[in-house]
Structure 1
Amino acid sequence: MATTTAQPPVHGQRVNGKQWHGTRKAFRPTSGLTSYEIRKKRTAHEAEVSKTETEMKEVKEAERQRKVQAIKDKRAAKEEKERFAKMEEKMHKKRVERLKRREKRNKLLKS
C-alpha cells in the first residue's frame, strides 16, 4: 500500500528571515534564446502584419485624397458659377450661355 504523492521539497527557514519572498531559480542566460525556426516564424508574422498595415494606410489615404478632390471640385464649380453670375449682370443672358458652351468645348479639347 505504498502510494506516492508528489510533494514539494521542504526547505527550512530562510537564513535572512524573509519568508515572504519566493524561491529564486538559477541564472541561465541562454534559457530564453529561441531557435531559428521560431525566430523565422516571428519575423514572417511581423512582415505580414506590417504589409497589412501599409495596405490599410494606403486605403485610408486614398479615401482622404478622394474627399479632398471632391471638395476642390465643388469649390471650382462654385467659383465658375459665381463668375458666370457676375457676367450675367453685365452682359445679355444668351451671350453668357454661348460663352459657357464655348468654354466647355475648349475644356474638352484640352483634356
Structure 2
Amino acid sequence: MSQAVEVQNPTAGAVSSVKGMKKNGKQWHDNKTAFRPRANQTSWDKRTLERKALAANKAKEKELKEEKEAERQRRVDAIRTKRAAKEERERFAKMEEKMHKRRVERLKRREKRNKMLKS
C-alpha cells in the first residue's frame, strides 16, 4: 500500500512572494512599504490644468444659474405688471360707477401724462 507521492517544488516566482511567517501572526494583512510622502504628488502642469478645468466648470455653472435667475425674475416682473394693470382697471371701473365715463377717460389721460413726466 505504499504509493510514491511525488512532490513538485513550486516555481521560483511563487517562492519569492512568500517571505515567511509574520511576527504578529496576521498573515492576511499586506506587508508594509516604505513611507514616501511625495509619492502621490502631481506635477505643477497637471495641477494647473485641473485648476483651469475647475474654474471653467464653475464659470459655466454660474452662467447657467444667472440665466435661470434672470428667467425667474422676468416671470416675476411679468406677474407684477399684470397685477398692477388689473388693479388699475378695477379702480377705473369703480370710478366709472360713480362718475361719468368721459370724465374717467380724461382722468386716465391725465394720469398717463403725469406718469410720463415722473419717469
Unaligned runs of 5+ in 2: 1-10
Aligned residue among 36, 42, 46 for 1:38: 46
| Percent of residue pairs identical | 61
Output the CA distance in 2 between the equivalents of 1:70 and 1:61: 14
SS where residue 36 of structure 2 aligns?
coil
TM-score by length of 1: 0.80
Which deviations, in whole Å up to 9, do the C-alpha atoms of 1:52-84 show, x marking residues without a partner?
Answer: 111111111111211221121112112111210
Q: Which amino acid aligns with 1:21?
A: H
Output the CA distance in 2 between the equivalents of 1:80 and 1:22: 81
Cα RMSD between the aligned structures?
A: 2.4
TM-score by length of 2: 0.75
**Size of the alignment, in residue pairs?**
108
Q: Which amino acid aligns with 1:58?
A: E
Aligned residue among 63, 70, 73 for 1:65: 73
Output the CA distance in 1 between the equivalents of 2:64 and 2:103: 51
Shift of 1:51: 0.9
Which deviations, in whole Å up to 9, do the C-alpha atoms of 1:16-62 show, x marking residues without a partner?
Answer: 01122222222100111111111111111111111111111111111
Structure number with bigger Rg: 2
